Chains A and B, each alone.
Chain A
Amino acid sequence: MNQTTFDRSTIRFQDVTTVIGLEVHVQLQTQTKLFCGCATTFGGQPNTQTCPICCGLPGTLPVLNARALQLAIKTGLALNCEIARHTKWDRKNYFYPDLPKGYQISQFDQPICGAGYLDVSDSKAAFPARRIRLERAHLEEDAGKSLHDESPRGGRSKIDLNRAGTPLLEIVTKPDFRSAAEAKTFLVELKLILGYLGVSDCNMQEGSLRCDANVNLHVACDGEIIATPIVEIKNLNSFRAAERAIEFEAERQFGAWQKSGATINDAPKQTRGWDDNIQATVLQREKEESADYRYFPDPDLIAYHTADAEIESLREQIGLLPAELRTLLTTTHQLKPSDADVIVGQGRGVVEFFLEMAAGCGNSRIAANWVGQEVLRYLNETNTTIEQYPVTVTEFVELLALMSSGQMDQTRGKSVLNEMTESKSGLASAIQKLGFVAVGTEEMRQLAEQLIAENPDLAQQIRDGNVKAIGALIGKARKLNPNANPGVLKTEIQDLLI
């Protein structure tokens, strides 16, 4: 340690680099568990989705659910990972009451997905675009849940094994993040990709997506880098929690380092948990040395050989992913990056809705505006998905055509759309219900002539170049015919007077 050669108090927090790596556990959406036939649905009565195999009864043997492996390969391909042609299963041995066999079936040295990467950027350019390298992604079975009696009397703990044996994909990144915002963006993007792939429901409340972060600081001093002890933060069950926990931890570590000067060589790896209530990380345990899991190949399972044809067939099922769709929307469809981001961020269904609408109306920006504002507002307010949206693309396109042809103004168009979504009615009946009648070109000209004749003063002002007078004249039109499109009427008046 040569920390005595400089004064730590001269280093400011903004001068240190935060180094972050993530471990993300994703529950794969299979019908049945990884090694038995039990259902994987969340929220069942405790221990109702169990069998002798996932309860670890003696004599039972695991049988691989190949579907889980396929979902893992699909995810690996989407994350640019090398897919192992030969993968095997290993036992990770440790005792815990919610681990029924006393070991977890996992993958140690031959994970199904090897090195890969994910590019992340911020549409508002809050940080430079970054390529996050992925170390690996391996498949393993989840443990059960321990339910501890938190009452003052305490005592009894209960075990629910419904979750035991559910397939998990553990994705491990390199320590490539330099800020909490980057880590959060990565998680958001990863979740989005997993949704596009349909491999996980990524419900963080239900634990389908769980994240641990490894955090430490690099301090540049006199041309050398000093690293602070690494802390693993567990229990990050929301993106917000992940971001806040990393921010908190970076500041905490900076404070600790300023006080003690302890470096990575002085302290063992620490595990801390994020406590949402107090918005702080709390010490869980200090590892004297890393736990010895005594990994060895599981003799109950056979190695799996992935055929090239299987990989290619899975690759074909992937379709365009968020990054490619963003590019499509900003180039071919000329959308602003932030608009493209909003649409792509809603998932494949909304993107497809948009693409069909853009193709139907022939104007991507108009389609993007309506999708980005009206459609998403509805989905948010009603907490529904695009698949449940009551208006078909065809009718939406017809409605847009009414507006672009001048037969209906924007305000009325929105009213019609609201009527269609509220009463789940078709376009024609919504218009009829609102009493909106299309005003023909001839009728419109007559209306303009009538207005000019009845308001000679205003007509003169318009001829004199008073633009505001057109507005006043149009205002009077509402009483004569409320269905008249003000924009079209304005053109008519101008044609007659100017």
Chain B
Amino acid sequence: MSRLNREIARLSAAEIVQHIAQGNFSATECTQHFLDAIDRANTRLNALITVAGEQALESAAAIDQLVQSKKKLGPLAGLPIAIKDGICTAGLRTSAGSRMLQNFVPPYDATIVKRLKDAGAIVIGKTNMDEFAMGSSTENSCVGPTLNPWATEFVPGGSSGGSAACVAADLAPTAIGSDTGGSIRQPAAFCGVTGLKPTYGRVSRSGLIAFGSSLDHIGPLTRSAADAALILTTIAGHDSQDSTSAMIDSGDYSTALDESIKGLKIGVCREHFGAGLNPEIDIAIQEAIRVLADRGAQIVETSLPQTEFAVPTYYVIACCEASSNLARFDGVRYTHREPGDDLEQMYCQTRAAGFGAEVKRRIMLGTFALSSGYYDAYYLRASKVRRIIKQDYDVALESCDLILGPTTPTAAFRLGKHTQDPLEMYLADIYTVSANLAGVPAISVPCGFSKAGLPIGMQLQGRAFAESTLLQVAHQYQQQTDWHLRRPVF
């Protein structure tokens, strides 16, 4: 590895942008560095489904032109970024990890992709994921699982496992994921990177292939909270193409990072420390609490009483919405199509062959739960519980500024461990799904390692549109710790 390559691997996103702007190395050199890294590691890790080598180098050359002619550069000029394959990229295959869309090339960019490109970021590839974001291990992908760079017999988490693994393994300095029930935060925790799920409506969903529309969020996976702030600043803000996009101003998320957290009230929620929490994780979280208390944060006890109902509520709503969202994949227009003697047979064969087992399971669950006679007992009841869970957050966040707890009950599990028992897999989301139901922002930050050498994540959840506070606390924590700087050898 050359000196330049070693250097790039250690740089933060902001530093990469700065070096390119100053001409210390070119965008092309930087992009090539990451393409080479992908070339070396992707066959093994399977973190990217599609590598956009040619387009990325073209974009990088365009940035270099700007640098040479001293033109104004965007805030992310030359920064390589990997995009989850469930987010549409114009002219670049977007399969959502599904056989159904294995040849789908969108004619448009998702709003966030457009914003990233406009800011000068370079899309380096599309990351592996659980099919249609349904899963917590990236094992449910039509191209096979992504491996955890920290220990390749373990899962990287999911569904944004490819994005998390990319950042952890230095295949990309930054990545974008989507989070419907924890799909950014849980893989961030499993791979030792920082993952932010913003407030619902903060980042446009336009161009994100929908799983559960009212729960889907887009957010960054990065090496640090500071990098997450940089990316969020570019992708946040109102979008007229998404009716659920908030009209609230977003601003620069980097400005408040260095502000003191002295006197900030951090709530610790008793429901996050019950049965099922691995003691190693418990210890790491307690240690993180101590670090933040030392920085002047005030630790208070709080409660989210309905936490135990979050997982079933989540699975009802997410599956109901998914059953409808995935109806468009019917073999008629742009998807995979299986032949059939008549229309119904074509539909059945196409959907039987195009979807994987977990997707079919959730479509059936959702279809059932919305059916006449069951709607009230499932969808309607789940919607009511969701409102109560939201109220829990309102109450809890009155007496504290944010809530701290574990991101996951255990560290990464072995490949294949939960594939036979989906219910067990669903419990991996126990601490993360509530934030999706309530729509509040949440971030996962590396806070330690298990004895087996697997990363542990701490989750911070905040008030709606208070991403700044989460990023500030996460950044202050990362100033005191080096968990986020450790890199796997794979």
Residues of A with Cβ closer than 8 Å to B? 52, 55-64, 91, 93, 95, 97, 100-103, 159, 292, 294-296, 299-302
Contact = CB atoms under 8 A, between A and B. Distances in A.
A21 B327 CA distance: 32
A294 B107 contact: no
B100 to A, nearest CB: 9
B371 A292 contact: yes
A101 B343 CA distance: 16
Given A58-B88, A61-B206, A100-B333, A296 B328 contact: no
Contacts of A52: 106-108
B330 A58 contact: no
A63 B371 contact: no
19 contacts: A57-B106, A57-B108, A57-B334, A58-B94, A58-B96, A59-B87, A59-B94, A59-B207, A59-B210, A63-B242, A93-B324, A93-B370, A97-B330, A103-B327, A159-B332, A292-B372, A296-B370, A296-B375, A300-B210
A64 B240 CA distance: 10
A169 B238 CA distance: 30
Contacts of A300: 210, 213, 243-244
Contacts of B207: 59-60
Nearest to A161: B333
Contacts of A299: 212-214, 244, 321
Contact of A296 (B320, B326, B329, B333): B320
B106 A59 contact: yes
Contact of B370 (A59, A95, A97, A294): A294
A299 B370 CA distance: 14
Nearest to A291: B372
Given A59-B209, A294-B370, A300-B213, A97 B343 contact: yes
A284 to B, nearest CB: 16
A168 to B, nearest CB: 20
Contact of B241 (A63, A91, A100, A101): A63
Contacts of A91: 324
Contacts, number: 99
Given A58-B104, A63-B240, A300-B213, A93 B327 contact: yes
Contacts of B208: 59
Interface in B33-78: none
A92 to B, nearest CB: 10
A102 B96 contact: no
A61 B243 contact: yes
Given A57-B108, A59-B108, 8 more contacts: A58-B329, A59-B106, A59-B208, A93-B323, A101-B328, A102-B328, A294-B324, A294-B370
A43 to B, nearest CB: 23
Instruction: Identify whether the interface residues of A are mostly helix, strand, loop, or mixed.
Output: loop
B65 to A, nearest CB: 31
B327 A301 contact: no
A48 to B, nearest CB: 15
B1 to A, nearest CB: 38
B367 interface: yes
Interface string B90-132: 0000101000010010111010000000000000000000000
Contacts of B209: 58-59
B324 A97 contact: no
The 10 closest A-B pairs by CB, nearest first: A102-B327, A299-B214, A299-B213, A294-B370, A58-B209, A59-B207, A59-B88, A56-B328, A292-B372, A101-B328
B477 interface: no
A245 B465 CA distance: 59
B449 interface: no
Contacts of A59: 87-88, 94, 106, 108, 110, 206-210
Interface string B446-479: 0000000000000000000000000000000000
A59 B214 CA distance: 14
Contacts of B205: 61
Contacts of B106: 52, 57-59
A152 B243 CA distance: 47
A56 B242 contact: no
Contacts of A159: 332-333
Contacts of A97: 330, 332, 343
Given A300-B244, A301-B243, A58 B332 contact: no
B243 A63 contact: yes
B328 A100 contact: yes
A224 B348 CA distance: 49
A478 B372 CA distance: 85
A93 B330 CA distance: 13
B209 to A, nearest CB: 4
